[in-house]
Amino acid sequence: MSLINDDMQDLLLHYCDPENELLQRIDRETNLKVLMPRMLSGHYQGRVLSMLSKMIVPERILEIGTFTGYATLCLAEGLSENGTIFTLDINEELEEMVRANFAQSSYNDKIRYILGHAADTINSLDEVFDLVFIDADKKNNGVYYDLIFDRVRSGGLIIVDNVLWSGKVLNKEQDKDTRNITNFNDKVATDQRVEKLILPVRDGLFIIRKK
């Protein structure tokens, strides 16, 4: 899913902070035990998420799509002293692994892991968020974006993963999944309420700042 070659990826990893032991273990066990392990954010993208979180020191983070908890822990690194990250997922089969991963982290008390349909859960949360990370079913990117927009403070960040879709967004003829990604990207590009740019990190991170 990376848009750069292996040599450049190795160089980037050389010049960024290392993963801690827990993140290394989550990466390893996800690749060994979980279907579609490529969904994991991984070392470099994890450091990008951590850096962005630390730059704004959020009090409230919302993550849509937990998977095995790797990105959750990276985002949690930037939380304020009294901060909380709400992370939403629908996959009950991973619950035991995810809760075990969180339990081994110093951020465990700051994490609210909620299972269920994200759209229903979002509507039940009475929070204003400083940072939102959308990394779930891509066909609903636009739905999640609309649901959370009024719940993000002015100056807050919305980060959306996989917006370059392995480069398929460049294709003139696109399959349904790729069209969904392109349509979402176009939606954000024309949204005058935000400032935005895409970072070519891994599979593309849309960084969106609410005005």
Tens digit of each residue's pLDDT (9 = 90 or more) over 120-148: 999 999 999 999 999 999 999 999 999 99
Say if residue 2's pLDDT is above 70. Answer: no
Q: What value does the mean pLDDT of the chain take?
A: 96
d(CA 144, CA 75): 19
User: For the residues 37-58, what does the mean pLDDT come to?
Assistant: 96
User: For the residues 72-78, what does the mean pLDDT come to?
Assistant: 98
3-state SS of 72-133 is HHHHHCCCCCCCEEEEEECCHHHHHHHHHHHHCCCCHHHEEEEECCHHHHHHHCCCCEEEEE
Range in 38-42, 54-58, 112-116, 156-160 the model is least confident about: 38-42
What does DSSP assign to residue 55?
A: H
Say if residue 3's pLDDT is above 80. Answer: no
pLDDT at position 201: 92
Task: For 79, list phi and psi in degrees, rounded to 5.
Answer: -60, 145
pLDDT at position 1: 58
Say if residue 85's pLDDT is above 80. Answer: yes
pLDDT at position 4: 81
pLDDT tens-digit profile of 172-196?
A: 999 999 999 999 999 999 999 999 9
Q: What is the bridge-based pairing of β-strands 60-64 and 129-134?
A: parallel
Domains and CATH numbers, the chain: 6-210 (3.40.50.150)
